[in-house]
Amino acid sequence: MTDLIIIGGGMAGLTAALYALRAGKSVLIVEKETFGGQITSSPRVDNYPGLPAISGNALTDALLSQVLELGAEIELEQIASLRQENGVFMADTGKKQFSARAVILATGARHRPLGIAREEQLVGHGVSYCALCDGAFHKGQDVAVVGGGNSASQAAVFLSDLCRSVTVIQQFDHFTCDQKELQAMQERANIRLLTDLRVTALQGDSCLTGLELTRPGSGDMHTQAIDGLFVCIGRMPDNEPFRGFIALDAQGFIAAGEDCRTSVEGVFAAGDCRAKAVRQLTTAAADGSIAAVAACAYIDQQRETAR
């Protein structure tokens, strides 16, 4: 039996593994897709302390190597359920079962879709959620980015080096990204910023050819020809396998405070999967360290009680 199972291999999960391993605990990291999480799709990270400019992939690759060298075990599996029996936590994939004395949930969150007709049908045919992954397919073309936060602004700047033009569409009357990110977009001649508009329809049959844009207040509508659309409007938590076992809030985020403790003793939450005001790389790392310290203390307490 492992001391600690960490479900999720992004920044929060890997940081938790680092702290737990250094505390002498055995650690199993279970990741369903790609180690590193969503930050691996960021071409440039320049707001992580001490690292003025690094790709998200390089940052998380270094962290993964660090925890593997310390003895972490890894499994590429998707956890379907979590339960507790006689003080032991069981994480079940449907085919495999892992047991541990404590659990850290660091499942992150997935890209939030626009939720309009034919969006899913056109994914991979003009609609994308990752500029780094799919930007090269639109080299020399006209594309649009939906969103007004840092992820949208970073995607726009990245795409401006590849595409003929980039139109950034924000549904509010202002951008919510950092001022530095906004300035970076404003300095690019081929980036056009549009506010107070929503994408209400996608045009094209087998591939995306244009957008229907509507102004919420007046209802005015116009169309814009486009070759690619990059959706950057936030994330949705991946916590459904744990619903009913731990408390989730109305949006599906784990109800855990700054101490990273969930409603079940011995289960902790770290990173974007928990209810929190700020979701950044640094806060994910902070959550990972806090959750690991708390989990190690819980494990030590259980061992002492069992003596």
Helix (H) or strand (E) holding 222: strand 221-225
**Burial level of 307, CB count in 10 A (0-12/13-18/19+)?**
exposed
Active site residues: 130, 133-134
Q: Identify residue 33 by its one-letter amino acid code.
A: E
Residues sharing a CB contact under 8 Å with residue 143, sequence separation 6 or more, in sequence order: 159, 163, 165, 166, 167, 226, 227, 228, 229, 230
Sign of the torsion angle spanned by Cα atoms 106, 107, 113, 119: positive
How far is it, in rounded angstroms, from Cα 260 to Cα 202?
40
How far is it, in rounded angstroms, from Cα 124 to Cα 241?
27
Residue 302, Cβ neighbours under 10 Å: how many? 16
Please answer whether residues 35 and 7 qualify as being in contact, where contact means their C-beta atoms are separated by less than 8 angstroms: no
**Tally of CA atoms within 13 A in the half-sphere of 141 that contains its CB:** 17
Please answer whether residues 201 and 214 qualify as being in contact, where contact means their C-beta atoms are separated by less than 8 angstroms: no
